[in-house]
């Protein structure tokens, strides 16, 4: 193994996140340059950038005005995906190259999560407001009311205590003159024993054990390959999945974020990691998330039948022993379908779960992870993310903004078993009701029409 003595060189995106004007200029021009538009980013006070938009190609002035909204939305969206606390807003000025006359200009505040946090910290750290005359008058009034109420309450408490003392004195006088009839009742001890023993029996009979979760799938998906489904019309649901965990470096941070936003996801676990981090595995299930099988050692090469049994069966059994959860979900390593692992999983009636939205969080930075998911998100799709297998800082950084953006678009997050169950409900709702046919005089056999199920782009006919 060799080590390099060269200094670390930050990427263009990292420099852009820090508010570097040259990096921002290069990054935005790489996207707008092919359209005949160039920009120049200039610094401005209070983290408010100034962006000059130059229309290089000769165009009519009306066309430049028509492009105003699209260009402003595009620039603001790109700056928002950076999630930078160094960018609080932007002032966009448009003109034609070579002409100093301004066509239009617009100022926009960038409300990214990082900018909002910095703004809130500034508000909290600002100096305390001075008391105005009205505030001072209100304080004096409430102080007088409080002191008066304390006096009244003290008087009432003193009167109440005097009343109690008088009552005790009168009660002792009466008790000395008469005997208690309850002391001569022979049934009182037996009744007391019965009353004292009854609650204990009742509490033991009401004790109930919580059943372990079972992450099963509808019958039509058992032994099939699935990457997305068609939910009911109007239901914007999407499933987040995390592979290669659990790992103590990333999984607790992911769980904390999901808990903060009240989101449930599906974790495809490696048997070796479950064995090494049992407490973390139990936490995933205890917090309401679904779990699936991702083999024991993430074997990518073609495995024998004996290896497939160990990689799949032993992992499922270990997950059940440690977390109490039984699962029928299996995801092959790297999504490869050309292995005996997939054939064995189909024989064991697992739902071979792939994905339809690839975040590429193992390869790119957080802004690109966010962009990859938002560009391809559609109802009924499954998103691929990772909480193990390497440095997942980009995943942790992009996850809060990803959840917020999808929620603002109206999406609801579900687990993979819930997603498949919603598809089954949709199928049952679309199934036409059988008409009532009068019974004929002579008996005839009528063949039932086959039902088509679309799984992984392949239609199968089920009788």
Q: Residue 259 corresponds to which tokens in the numbers above? A: 């808990």
Choose the catalytic residue: 85, 88, 243, 244.
243
DSSP assignment of 354-417 equals: --SEE--TTTS-HHHHHHHHHHH--TTBEEEEESSSS--HHHHHHHHHHHHHHHHTT-EEE-HH
Report d(CA 417, CA 421) in Å as an integer.
6
Contact 366, 398 (CB under 8 A): yes
Other C-beta atoms closer than 10 Å to the C-beta of 258 total 22
What secondary structure letter does DSSP report for 176? H
Q: Hey, is 249 helix, strand or coil?
A: coil
Cβ proximity of 72 and 92 under 8 Å:
yes
pLDDT computed for residue 206 by the predictor? 34
Say if CB 351 and CB 226 are below 8 A apart.
yes
267 and 284 in contact (C-beta within 8 Å)? yes
Per-residue pLDDT in tens (0 to 9) along the chain, 463 residues: 555 555 667 888 888 888 899 999 998 998 888 888 899 999 888 788 999 999 886 666 777 788 888 899 999 998 999 888 889 899 999 988 888 888 899 999 988 888 888 888 877 766 545 556 777 888 889 988 988 888 888 888 887 787 777 767 766 665 565 544 444 444 433 333 433 333 333 333 333 334 689 999 999 999 999 999 998 777 999 999 999 999 999 999 999 999 999 999 999 999 999 999 999 999 999 999 999 999 999 876 666 766 889 999 999 999 999 999 999 999 999 999 988 999 999 999 999 999 999 999 999 999 999 999 999 999 999 999 999 999 999 999 999 999 999 999 999 999 999 999 988 777 776 666 555 544 444 433 333 333 333 444 433 433 3
Superfamily of domain 219-425: Glycoside hydrolase/deacetylase (3.20.20.370)
Q: Which residue spans of the chain are classified as CATH 3.20.20.370? A: 219-425
Would you say the C-alpha torsion 262, 252, 419, 234 has a positive or negative sign?
positive
| Candidates 289, 294, 298, 386; catalytic one | 386
Do the bridges between strand 326-327 and strand 290-293 make them parallel or antiparallel, or are there none, so unpaired? unpaired
The pTM (predicted TM-score) of the whole model is 0.59
Supply 252's token pair. 């607790």
Q: Could you tell me if 253 and 394 are in contact, meaning their C-beta atoms sit under 8 angstroms apart?
A: no
* Res 436: pLDDT: 52
Helix, strand and coil content of the chain, in percent to the nearest 5, comes to 50, 15, 35
Handedness of CA 103, 106, 112, 117 (dihedral sign): positive
Question: What pLDDT sits at residue 130?
Answer: 53
How much is the pLDDT for 452?
37
At 151, list the tokens: 């006096």
CA geometry: angle 203, 206, 212, nearest 5 deg: 130
In the prediction, which pLDDT does 437 show? 46
CATH topology for 12-120? Alpha-Beta Plaits (3.30.70)
Using the structure block, give the residue that is written with the tokens 């004195």.
169
Question: Residue 459: phi, psi to the nearest 5?
Answer: -95, 130
CA distance 54 to 38: 5
- The set of residues, in sequence order, having a beta carbon less than 8 Å from that of 405 and lying 6+ positions away, is 370, 374
Residue 386 falls in the annotated catalytic set: yes
Q: How many CB atoms lie within 10 A of CB 393?
A: 14
For the chain, give every residue range classified as CATH 3.30.70. 12-120
> Residue 79 in contact with residue 87, Cβ under 8 Å?
yes
Would you state the pLDDT for residue 126? 62
Q: Is 457 left (phi over 0), alpha (psi -120 to 50) or beta?
A: left
Determine the Cα–Cα distance for residues 342 and 337; give it in Å rounded to an integer: 6
CA distance 24 to 222: 49
CA nearest 298: which of 340, 347, 244? 244
Determine the pLDDT at residue 440. Answer: 44
């Amino acid at each position: 193994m060799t080590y390099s003595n060269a200094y670390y060189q930050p990427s263009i995106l990292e420099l852009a996140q820090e508010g570097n004007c040259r990096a921002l200029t290069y990054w935005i021009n790489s996207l707008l340059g092919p359209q005949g538009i160039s920009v120049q980013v200039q610094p401005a006070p209070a983290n408010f950038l100034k962006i000059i938009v130059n229309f290089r190609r000769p165009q009519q002035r009306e066309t430049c005005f028509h492009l105003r909204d699209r260009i402003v939305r595009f620039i603001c969206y790109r700056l928002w995906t950076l999630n930078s606390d160094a960018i609080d807003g932007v002032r966009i000025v448009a003109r034609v190259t070579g002409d100093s006359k301004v066509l239009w200009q617009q100022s926009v505040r960038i409300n990214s999560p990082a900018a909002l946090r910095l703004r809130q910290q500034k508000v909290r750290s600002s100096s305390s407001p001075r008391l105005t005359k009205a505030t001072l008058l209100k304080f004096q009034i409430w102080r007088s009311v409080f002191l008066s109420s304390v006096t009244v309450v003290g008087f009432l408490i003193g009167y109440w205590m005097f009343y109690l003392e008088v009552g005790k004195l009168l009660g002792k006088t009466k008790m000395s003159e008469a005997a208690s009839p309850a002391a001569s009742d022979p049934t009182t001890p037996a009744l007391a024993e019965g009353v004292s023993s009854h609650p204990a029996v009742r509490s033991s009979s009401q004790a109930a054990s919580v059943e372990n979760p079972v992450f099963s799938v509808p019958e039509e998906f058992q032994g099939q390959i699935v990457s997305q489904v068609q939910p009911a019309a109007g239901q914007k649901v999407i499933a987040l999945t995390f592979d290669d965990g659990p790992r103590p470096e990333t999984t607790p941070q992911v769980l904390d974020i999901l808990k903060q936003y009240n989101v449930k996801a599906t974790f495809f676990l490696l048997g070796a990691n479950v064995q090494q981090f049992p407490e973390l595995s139990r936490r995933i299930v205890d917090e309401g998330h679904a779990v699936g099988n991702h083999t024991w050692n993430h074997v990518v090469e073609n495995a024998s039948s004996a290896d497939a049994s160990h990689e799949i069966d032993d992992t499922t059994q270990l997950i059940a022993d440690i977390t109490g959860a039984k699962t029928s979900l299996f995801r092959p390593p790297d999504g490869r379908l050309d292995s005996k692992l997939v054939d064995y999983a189909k024989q064991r009636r697992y739902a071979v779960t792939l994905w339809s939205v690839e975040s590429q969080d193992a390869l790119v930075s957080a802004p690109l992870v966010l962009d990859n998911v938002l560009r391809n998100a559609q109802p009924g799709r499954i998103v691929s993310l990772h909480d193990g297998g390497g440095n997942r800082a980009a995943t942790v950084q992009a996850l809060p903004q990803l959840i917020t953006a999808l929620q603002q678009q109206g999406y609801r997050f579900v687990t993979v078993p819930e997603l498949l169950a919603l598809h089954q409900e949709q199928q049952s709702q679309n199934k036409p009701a059988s008409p009532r046919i009068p019974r004929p005089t002579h008996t005839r056999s009528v063949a039932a029409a086959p039902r088509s199920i679309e799984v992984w782009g392949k239609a199968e006919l089920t009788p």
